[in-house]
Protein backbone atom coordinates (compact mmCIF):
# COMPACT_ATOMS: atom_id res chain seq x y z
CA UNK A 1 0.00 0.00 0.00
CA UNK A 2 2.84 2.43 0.82
CA UNK A 3 4.44 1.76 -2.55
CA UNK A 4 1.16 2.61 -4.30
CA UNK A 5 0.89 5.88 -2.35
CA UNK A 6 4.52 6.77 -3.20
CA UNK A 7 3.99 6.04 -6.90
CA UNK A 8 0.82 8.15 -6.94
CA UNK A 9 2.61 11.05 -5.23
CA UNK A 10 5.54 10.92 -7.68
CA UNK A 11 3.18 10.78 -10.66
CA UNK A 12 1.46 13.91 -9.35
CA UNK A 13 4.78 15.73 -9.07
CA UNK A 14 5.71 14.91 -12.67
CA UNK A 15 2.30 16.06 -13.91
CA UNK A 16 2.71 19.44 -12.16
CA UNK A 17 6.18 19.88 -13.68
CA UNK A 18 4.88 19.16 -17.16
CA UNK A 19 2.02 21.64 -16.79
CA UNK A 20 4.44 24.39 -15.81
CA UNK A 21 6.53 23.93 -18.98
CA UNK A 22 4.05 25.92 -21.08
CA UNK A 23 4.35 29.69 -21.17
CA UNK A 24 1.11 31.38 -20.22
CA UNK A 25 0.45 35.09 -20.54
CA UNK A 26 0.87 36.53 -17.05
CA UNK A 27 0.01 40.15 -17.85
CA UNK A 28 0.18 42.71 -20.64
CA UNK A 29 0.55 46.45 -21.07
CA UNK A 30 -1.87 47.74 -22.18
CA UNK A 31 -3.90 45.32 -20.12
CA UNK A 32 -6.10 42.64 -21.67
CA UNK A 33 -9.48 44.16 -22.55
CA UNK A 34 -8.50 47.63 -21.34
CA UNK A 35 -9.34 51.06 -22.71
CA UNK A 36 -6.48 53.55 -22.78
CA UNK A 37 -6.85 57.27 -23.49
CA UNK A 38 -3.41 57.68 -25.04
CA UNK A 39 -2.18 55.34 -27.77
CA UNK A 40 0.74 53.19 -26.55
CA UNK A 41 4.07 53.18 -28.38
CA UNK A 42 4.61 49.49 -27.68
CA UNK A 43 2.96 46.33 -26.37
CA UNK A 44 4.71 44.48 -23.54
CA UNK A 45 3.78 40.90 -22.65
CA UNK A 46 5.00 39.05 -19.53
CA UNK A 47 4.89 35.24 -19.53
CA UNK A 48 5.19 32.58 -16.84
CA UNK A 49 8.19 30.87 -18.48
CA UNK A 50 11.38 31.87 -20.28
CA UNK A 51 10.74 32.24 -24.01
CA UNK A 52 12.69 31.02 -27.03
CA UNK A 53 13.07 34.26 -29.05
CA UNK A 54 13.44 32.53 -32.44
CA UNK A 55 9.96 30.98 -32.19
CA UNK A 56 8.00 33.53 -30.13
CA UNK A 57 6.01 36.18 -31.97
CA UNK A 58 3.45 38.90 -31.46
CA UNK A 59 1.49 40.96 -33.93
CA UNK A 60 -1.03 43.75 -33.54
CA UNK A 61 -3.84 44.50 -36.00
CA UNK A 62 -6.50 47.17 -36.20
CA UNK A 63 -10.24 46.55 -36.64
CA UNK A 64 -9.77 46.24 -40.43
CA UNK A 65 -7.05 43.61 -40.01
CA UNK A 66 -4.15 45.88 -41.00
CA UNK A 67 -0.87 45.31 -39.14
CA UNK A 68 0.02 48.21 -36.85
CA UNK A 69 3.10 46.73 -35.18
CA UNK A 70 6.64 47.62 -36.27
CA UNK A 71 7.88 44.16 -37.18
CA UNK A 72 9.84 41.65 -35.14
CA UNK A 73 9.29 41.45 -31.38
CA UNK A 74 12.12 41.88 -28.89
CA UNK A 75 12.28 38.98 -26.43
CA UNK A 76 14.26 38.81 -23.20
CA UNK A 77 13.75 35.97 -20.71
CA UNK A 78 9.96 35.89 -20.12
CA UNK A 79 9.15 39.32 -21.62
CA UNK A 80 8.21 40.12 -25.21
CA UNK A 81 7.87 43.67 -26.60
CA UNK A 82 6.85 45.04 -29.95
CA UNK A 83 6.79 48.64 -31.15
CA UNK A 84 3.64 50.15 -32.62
CA UNK A 85 2.94 52.58 -35.42
CA UNK A 86 0.91 55.67 -34.54
CA UNK A 87 -2.51 54.38 -33.46
CA UNK A 88 -5.82 56.13 -34.06
CA UNK A 89 -8.76 55.71 -31.70
CA UNK A 90 -10.25 52.26 -32.11
CA UNK A 91 -9.97 48.62 -31.10
CA UNK A 92 -6.78 46.61 -31.65
CA UNK A 93 -6.17 42.87 -31.46
CA UNK A 94 -2.92 41.41 -30.15
CA UNK A 95 -2.08 37.85 -31.21
CA UNK A 96 0.88 36.17 -29.50
CA UNK A 97 2.68 32.87 -29.87
CA UNK A 98 5.06 31.86 -27.09
CA UNK A 99 7.54 29.04 -27.41
CA UNK A 100 9.63 27.97 -24.43
CA UNK A 101 13.22 26.75 -24.56
CA UNK A 102 11.92 23.15 -24.35
CA UNK A 103 9.80 23.81 -27.50
CA UNK A 104 6.36 23.84 -25.86
CA UNK A 105 4.21 26.41 -27.66
CA UNK A 106 1.10 28.29 -26.58
CA UNK A 107 -0.76 31.09 -28.29
CA UNK A 108 -3.58 33.46 -27.64
CA UNK A 109 -5.02 36.84 -28.39
CA UNK A 110 -6.69 39.75 -26.68
CA UNK A 111 -8.00 43.18 -27.56
CA UNK A 112 -7.55 46.66 -26.17
CA UNK A 113 -9.19 49.95 -27.12
CA UNK A 114 -7.63 53.38 -27.69
CA UNK A 115 -9.85 56.39 -26.91
CA UNK A 116 -13.18 56.57 -25.16
CA UNK A 117 -15.75 53.84 -25.66
Number of structural domains the chain divides into: 1
- The pLDDT of residue 104: 93
Residue 37's CB is within 10 A of a number of other CB atoms, namely: 8
Average pLDDT rounded to a whole number, residues 37-46: 98
Residue 49 resides in a domain: yes
Q: Is residue 5 part of a domain?
A: no
pLDDT, residue 20, reads: 52
13 lies in a domain? no
Query: 0.85 exceeded by the pTM?
Result: no
Enclosing domain of residue 94: 23-114
Is 16 part of a structural domain of the chain? no
The pLDDT tens digits of the residues spanning 49-72 come to 999 999 999 999 999 999 999 999
Cβ neighbours of residue 17 closer than 8 Å, sequence gap 6 or more: none
- Distance, CA of 96 to chain centre: 5
> What is the domain-level CATH number for residue 87?
2.60.40.1220
Each residue's pLDDT tens digit, 69-97: 999 999 999 999 999 999 999 999 999 99
Amino acid sequence: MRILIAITALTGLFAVGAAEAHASLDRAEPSVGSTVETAPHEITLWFTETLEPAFSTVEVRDADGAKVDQGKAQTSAAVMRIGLKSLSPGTYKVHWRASTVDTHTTEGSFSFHVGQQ
